[in-house]
Amino acid sequence: MAGKRGTDKIKGKAKEMTGKVTGNRAKEAEGKVDQAKAEAEESMREVQDRARGAAEPPKRRHN
Residue ranges per domain, the chain? 2-43
Q: Which CA distances in Å does 61 have to 27, 54, 56, 58?
A: 55, 18, 15, 9
Q: Which CA distances in Å does 37 have to 3, 48, 61, 62?
A: 15, 17, 41, 44
pLDDT, one tens digit per residue, over 2-41 is 567 689 999 999 999 999 999 999 999 999 999 999 999 9
Residue 59 confidence (pLDDT) above 50: yes
* pLDDT: which is higher, 61 or 30: 30
C-alpha neighbours within 13 Å on the C-beta side of residue 32: 8
